[in-house]
Amino acid sequence: MENKINLLSLNQKSLDEFFAKLGAKSYCTKQLMKWIYKDHVFDFDQMLNLSKKLREKLKEVACIEFPKIVTKNHALDGVIKWVIETGSENHVEMVYIPEKDRGTLCISSQVGCALACTFCSTGYQGFNRNLSTAEIIAQVLIANLHLNPAGKRISNVVFMGMGEPLLNEEAVYSACDLLLDDLSFGLSRRRVTISSSGVVPALERMSERVPVSLAISLHAANDTLRDELVPINKKYPIETLMKACDVYLNAGTQERHILFEYVMLKGVNDSSEHAKQLSKLLKGVSAKVNLIPFNPFPQSDYETSSVRTIESFQNILFSNGIRTMTRRTRGEDVDAACGQLAGKVKDKTKRADARRN
């Protein structure tokens, strides 16, 4: 589709501008969005309430293009993982997690990840490129096309797949616009979550740009340990990160909260002292902590904290007034659990090669 614009990359404002340049009426935006996002019609010839002249023009200058599905795997617990091709032998992964009262889709924002968090399989694959808005939104549409016939729905979308969303700001923000737009997916702001390792300048911009939920991959409450686990901490240490979190919490007029994610690594960050440090750090912050049992992958030497250790850690947080939950591991048998997404990445950073050596 060389030189054609993929309409999945355009939010409502951009579509208005696109149709204006074509000399089409403004209502064409609503008509097109209904065909794509409500009716799942992707052939311009079938969009019969658009004029024939406009349909012919759209075929010349635009397309609605999806990445190819490489594999689709069903876990025993109902989790579904798709691997999709993004060109040049690169693949990314997305995961659907069904629960009694919700269906969460975990999507990717980059091919690989450049942040190299030591407990994450994606980080070990290196980094190739950012995904476009179209490639991000296509993940949600692909999942809907597979899930809807089975009577399943997507109630929540989380940017917790491959990549650091806030290193791909514009594409992610535009995708969020579409996820929130009633003309497309119509999700509430509380049901769309961006997870970040702490790209502070982008966090501050996000606070004003998109009113979605925020999750912070924290994993340690002191800089020495976080420098090791989450290397971006060397650039944006915890004190700086927490100031950016305060900016987010106080932006806008609606009440906001932050989910702090904390992977439980045996003998590394799971002691009672670590729990006390975390309690002190989050005292008075409008936040919840999500304790995540580490999910092993071949390149890692970390081990998962014991159930008793996680419970003890959680109890210390509870006793200090910190709202806390422990994430149940899902999709582990198809490598779809948190931290296990790897895809297939032609690493441009050479970081993966350096690690192997």
Q: Which residues are catalytic?
A: 93, 338
Q: What are phi and psi of 343, to 5 degrees?
A: 60, -145
Pair 267, 252: CB distance under 8 Å: no
Q: Report the distance separating Cα 314 and Cα 295, nearest Å.
A: 18
> Helix, strand, coil % (nearest 5) of the chain?
40, 20, 40
3-state secondary structure (DSSP) of residue 234: helix
Alpha-carbon distances of 240 from 194, 221, 244, 357, rounded to whole Å? 19, 13, 7, 33
3-state secondary structure (DSSP) of residue 235: coil
Residue spans of beta strands (DSSP E) within 200-322: 213-217, 258-264, 287-293
Closest CA to 133 of 61, 210, 74, 199: 210
Q: Report the distance separating Cα 78 and Cα 57, nearest Å.
A: 43
Closest CA to 79 of 59, 57, 63, 94: 94
Mode of pairing for the β-strands spanning 69-74 and 80-85 = antiparallel
Q: What are phi and psi of 4, to 5 degrees?
A: -100, 145
Q: Report the distance separating Cα 249 and Cα 243, nearest Å.
A: 10
Residue 56 burial (CB count, 10 A) = 12
Token pair 């689709």 is found at 72
Complete edge-to-edge strand list for the sheet that includes strand 287-293:
69-74, 80-85, 91-98, 103-106, 156-159, 192-196, 213-217, 258-264, 287-293, 323-326
Residue 339 Ramachandran class (φ > 0 left, ψ -120 to 50 alpha, else beta): left
